[in-house]
Amino acid sequence: MASASPRPSHRRSLRKRRTLVVSAAAVAAAVGAGVLVMNASASPADLYHQVLPTKDGWAASGSGTTGGAKADAAHTFTVSTRAELVKALGSATDTTPRIIKIKGTIDANTNDAGKKVTCADYASGTGYSLSAYLKAFDPSTYGKKAPKGAQETAREAAETKQKKNIVFKVPANTTLVGVPGTKAGVLGGSLTVQNVKNVIIRNLTFADTQDCFPAWDPTDGSSGEWNSNYDAVTLRGATNVWADHNTFTDAPTFDKTEATHYGRKYQVHDGALDITNGSDLVTVERNQFLNHDKTMLIGSSDTDSTGKLRVTIHHNVWKGIVQRAPLARIGQIHLYNNVYDTTTVNGYAPKYSIDSRAKAQVVAERNVWRIPADAKVAKLLSGDGTGSLAGTGNIVNGKATDLVAAYNAANSKKLKTTVNWTPALTAGLQTAVTDLLTDLTGTGTSAAGAGLLP
């Protein structure tokens, strides 16, 4: 694929890290403790006060991304429950720098007293039931039109109750970090970074973010679809965000276990990490994306914000991913040194890896794919005929491969091979990728995912 001229490696040294094996048991674990005010003073190497390194992707633009590094003692918290997290986040409009250390796994589907809250609890008092909903909007009797009536109103009311409980709004100038060695993360919750600036999210496992009340849309595709809300992490109109060393997974609830209604999968999961509504200057680095369908959406529609949606995605691992790794619209997106394993895992069979559409300007270079022997290289990409995808040095099963040439030879809607920009914020870019797969998926100091930071 065509690209700007190669740049030298600026790989930065990494600290010794511990590894975490992500499992259903680890996800379900939680540690009960109170909100503690911690001393904000620390050495430059302190995990909680670290900032995005210089030139490390688009989020290093301007004043860079520092999160809550300037937090005082009164705005430095350690939290282990949903209620504590809500208290520590405070108001979404409060721009006071804050550091939130998450210790253990926080179950978002709990009440303020820590008691488990179920889908039935959210539905209680609304009049909603799945059986009544299915009867009311059965396409064979209701037709192919948008659901409207008592059961749709009840579904929306139940959804509102769940949303109030599981969505956590992150204010500007915030650092959220998992405490090492505690299996830190959020189970069933959704971090929302909306219309704020300067946020850091690190060392956390985001697991099984479920919508209890998916909506039926009979006009979505030829056969209709069940659509859910709640990304594990969603950026909407957010600027200067650094997501580093996190793990995103549907575990322990895989899509293959979900029921089928109206002939379509009853989909309870939405995105893993979506970057939409004019979000800008984002670096997504050394994360693991596992066991998920619609993984990363950049741009909410073909008319999202021109001049924004600038995102760098590097040194991530994508395995058991169906699609959107990422799906990119409009913006200038740089993907480098990522590892894609397209083996079907836990029922998640791949459709494609990267989709460039709506005039997106994607540079994908020095990434590594491992694909089954019978898989086709042309299936690794997707597009609508308006998107661009440039870049060189991509490897498939150990062999240098021109992905765009393979895709264009098999498709009428061609990907363009030139872009209107040249990536400059490329700290950590490795020109030699022979050991990339081993480094990112192993237990060494370069591995991706949660639980690895010291």
Question: Sign of dihedral through CA atoms 199, 101, 273, 225?
Answer: negative
Which amino acid is located at 89 in the chain? L
> Is residue 187 within 8 Å of residue 27, measured between CB atoms?
yes
Distance separating alpha carbons of residues 35 and 79, to the nearest angstrom: 5
CB distance 426 to 391 below 8 Å: no
Annotated active-site residue in 17, 324, 357, 366: 324
| Residue 324 falls in the annotated catalytic set | yes
Query: Which residues are known catalytic residues?
Result: 324
